[in-house]
Structure 1
Amino acid sequence: MTVISSLTAVAVVLTLGYAVLNGFRDASTAVAAAVRTRALTPVVAVVVASFFAFLGTIATSGLSTALVDALNFNVPDGIDGLKLVICGLLTAGAWGLYCWWRGLPMSSTHSLLSALVGASGAAAFMGDASMSGAWALLVGSVLLPLLISPIIAYTLSYLVVIPAMWLVRHDTSHTVNEVSRAGQAVTACASALGLGLQDGQRTGALIALVLITGDAMDPGPVTWAIQLSAGAALSFGVLLGGWRITHTLGRRLVNFDPMRGMIAQGVSAIMLFVGSLVFHLPLSTTQTVTSGIVGAGKNQAFESVFWRNVARVAWHWVLTPVVCVFGGAVLTLAISPLF
């Protein structure tokens, strides 16, 4: 087995492993509000989320290629490109595990893209082949979404509470809660579907990119076998739960009722759908859902947001590109003598 074949196999395994970690972490994001308000039991929530995450991954043929084209996601061929992908996956995976252990919701997409940019910068520093448009990728696909998408999700969720409260002004709290719990079950499925459309499709695209880079596949549309593998890995991770982050989202950021939970999930799901299907933009499931929950919960007659915990989460969102760029660069420099 040649060096390129070995590195290709390693990169594919790491990509699937990262998809499992992604599902493990983001499952809690998709179902946290529904579990918090008892719209769904934890077991039912993760099973349903797993199914819809898988469905979202395989639902739209050719979307992975569109997302990659939109990202301008290009790595050099051969060993140099595989080395960048491996270092990026290892760095992003380590940061993701750390944040999960701390119970912190964090963007898996931003982690991986930032780590790849750091690895590419280190490769360029050493005179090796590197990614084209790496820093534009960091600005356009990490820093701008980090700044804009949480604000949009927070604002929309806050505003949607106003007409929702007017519509139910004559209903009893019991009726509103029961109807909202039913709505939450639907929006939790929609959020999981959005997770598949965003993260699942990118996983399939990354597997294809690895195979093309390792000369194991000709350039072209992502095959069904790749999409099925990506969907299976993501949905398996969703089944594992990730309850530390569920506790943070459901208990430590804001107090909210079923109606506000339904609104937050619905707004985030719509943003994920539009970003994926219309604009082909990589949006963070974690950031949209978390910001939506805080925005909807803030629009109450009493102060319900634990701003200290919200600030702690936001700080780690800002820290993610910094840590992952640095980590990707250091790991690339460390392993460069081996290849």
Structure 2
Amino acid sequence: MIIFLFALVVVFAGAFAFLNGFRDASAAVALAVRTRALTPTVAVLLAGFFNFIGAGLSAALALAVSQAWVQLPAGENGLTILLAGLLSAVLWGIYTWWRGIPSSSTHALVGGLAGAGIASAVVGGYGVGGVDTSLLFQVVLPLLLSPLMAFAGAYLLVWPATWAARYTPPNVVNSRSRRAQSIAVGAVALAHGLQDGQRTSAVLLLALLASGLSDGSEMPIWVALFTAVLLTAGTLAGGWRISYTIGYRMIRMDPLRGSVAQLYSAAILLVGAVGLHWPISTTHTVTSAVLGAGANQGFPATNRKVVIRVLMFWLITPAVTAAAAFVLALSLSPLAAL
């Protein structure tokens, strides 16, 4: 039964990675396509290439994440918790994609693990250790801090960018900004691979630990390749519903402000992943930076109804996935008892 549950976890971890790339491709490509810096095909191929590199490099970071993230009980109990958490995150990710809402896969996963751990404790099993710390540092604080930093920083950076371009003809400014956005697509995709690749690799390593197939001292090569390939495949598939929301529905954006938003987002994500080892939501960071840069204009450019709807989904994501995982874990609990 342990091998069967482990196989199911691997399948849904792959689905989670694919859906992560599918939905979050918009973070890298939406503005570049909107401002005609790149064609959709070139933008997605570029994003897929750098996502693969980032996800492959994230394996070393994922080992530390798995050790400091959550502690699962061994055996079927731990595997059913992982399975319920992954399934709830995947279902919520499909729903938010269908609604065209950019939301955090990390927050969905952590909420799902929390809900599944509570369900396990309710039926007499072991809960998830360290989930309170994960909720604090991977949901609550990033939910509050990263969007604020991204919005405020992008808003402020528009002023020096426009001041530096004040004597430059508009067509030259747009041309240079589009070139900068082409670079930013790769930078955001690399940062996304580094940040989000950690989560899938960490889940698989936790599954190996729970099933007794690894002692957690090193990251298997197949885990890194599995994560990188599926994250890249999802990126190449491209979730254009969310791209349309970011690039067209939320706010009107010119190439200069688009380059500011994407370059600043990439800087936050790369520093967070490599320098500080902070789990930062790519979706929240890029979306907030887009709103911040776009808000610093001389005319109203923000669709407030869409922005409020997006913020509402951000707030309810951990609670919804926790509730769904609670129900799923209760349904799967007979498997843990076999």
What is aligned with 2:155? 158
- Note the aligned Cα RMSD (angstroms): 1.1
Give CA deviations for 1:214-260 in whole Å, capped at 9, x if unaligned.
11223212122211111001000000000000000000111010111
Give CA deviations for 1:62-82 in whole Å, capped at 9, x if unaligned.
211122334x32211110000
Q: Which amino acid aligns with 2:186?
A: C
Residue of structure 1 aligned with 2:97, choices 93, 97, 100: 100
What is aligned with 1:7? 5
8 Å Cα contact 1:54-1:200 kept in structure 2: no
Segments of structure 1 that go 5 or more residues without pairing to the other structure are none
Q: Secondary structure at the match of 1:301?
A: coil
Q: Which amino acid aligns with 1:232?
A: V
Q: Which amino acid aligns with 2:143?
A: L
Offset at 1:187?
0.5
Residue of structure 2 aligned with 1:179, choices 168, 176, 180: 176
Residue of structure 1 aligned with 2:24, choices 23, 26, 36: 26
Number of corresponding residues: 336
What is aligned with 1:209? 206
8 Å Cα contact 2:59-2:197 kept in structure 1: no
Q: Which amino acid aligns with 1:53?
A: N
Offset at 1:330?
1.3
Offset at 1:211?
1.5
For 1:62 and 1:221, locate their aligned partners in 2 and report how far apart those are by CA, in whole Å.
Answer: 9
Q: Which amino acid aligns with 1:83?
A: T
8 Å Cα contact 1:212-1:219 kept in structure 2: yes
Q: Which amino acid aligns with 1:278?
A: G
8 Å Cα contact 1:157-1:264 kept in structure 2: yes
8 Å Cα contact 1:36-1:251 kept in structure 2: yes
For 2:222 and 2:130, locate their aligned partners in 1 and report how far apart those are by CA, in whole Å.
Answer: 29
For 2:218 and 2:258, locate their aligned partners in 1 and report how far apart those are by CA, in whole Å.
Answer: 38
Asked if residue 59 in structure 1 is aligned to residue 57 in structure 2, the reply is yes
What is aligned with 2:48? 50
What is aligned with 2:259? 262
1:225-240 matches, within 5 Å, as 225-240=222-237
8 Å Cα contact 1:67-1:282 kept in structure 2: no
- Comparing 213-222 and 102-111, the one that deviates more: 213-222
What is aligned with 1:335? 332
Offset at 1:12?
0.8
8 Å Cα contact 2:58-2:195 kept in structure 1: no
For 2:37 and 2:136, locate their aligned partners in 1 and report how far apart those are by CA, in whole Å.
Answer: 38
What is aligned with 1:147? 144
Offset at 1:213?
1.3
Residue of structure 1 aligned with 2:272, choices 260, 265, 275: 275
What is aligned with 2:291? 294
Identity of aligned residues (%): 45
Offset at 1:198?
0.5
8 Å Cα contact 1:53-1:195 kept in structure 2: yes
Q: Which amino acid aligns with 1:42?
A: P
What is aligned with 2:303? 306
- Comparing 28-37 and 133-142, the one that deviates more: 133-142
Q: Which amino acid aligns with 1:179?
A: R
For 1:291 and 1:235, locate their aligned partners in 2 and report how far apart those are by CA, in whole Å.
Answer: 24
Instruction: Tell me the TM-score normalised to structure 2 length.
Output: 0.97
Give CA deviations for 1:292-325 in whole Å, capped at 9, x if unaligned.
0000000011111111110100000001011011
For 1:62 and 1:96, locate their aligned partners in 2 and report how far apart those are by CA, in whole Å.
Answer: 26
- Comparing 299-308 and 239-248, the one that deviates more: 299-308
Residue of structure 2 aligned with 1:37, choices 35, 38, 42: 35
For 2:212 and 2:109, locate their aligned partners in 1 and report how far apart those are by CA, in whole Å.
Answer: 22
For 2:335 and 2:67, locate their aligned partners in 1 and report how far apart those are by CA, in whole Å.
Answer: 31
For 1:60 and 1:93, locate their aligned partners in 2 and report how far apart those are by CA, in whole Å.
Answer: 21
Offset at 1:328?
1.0
For 1:22 and 1:62, locate their aligned partners in 2 and report how far apart those are by CA, in whole Å.
Answer: 20
Structure 1 pair 34–267 and aligned structure 2 pair: CA distance change class (3 A): same
Give CA deviations for 1:143-178 in whole Å, capped at 9, x if unaligned.
111111101100000000010011001001100000
- Comparing 251-260 and 127-136, the one that deviates more: 127-136
Structure 1 pair 298–320 and aligned structure 2 pair: CA distance change class (3 A): same
Structure 1 pair 311–229 and aligned structure 2 pair: CA distance change class (3 A): same
- Comparing 58-67 and 165-174, the one that deviates more: 58-67
Q: Secondary structure at the match of 1:315?
A: helix
Structure 1 stretches of 4+ with a deviation exceeding 6 A read: none
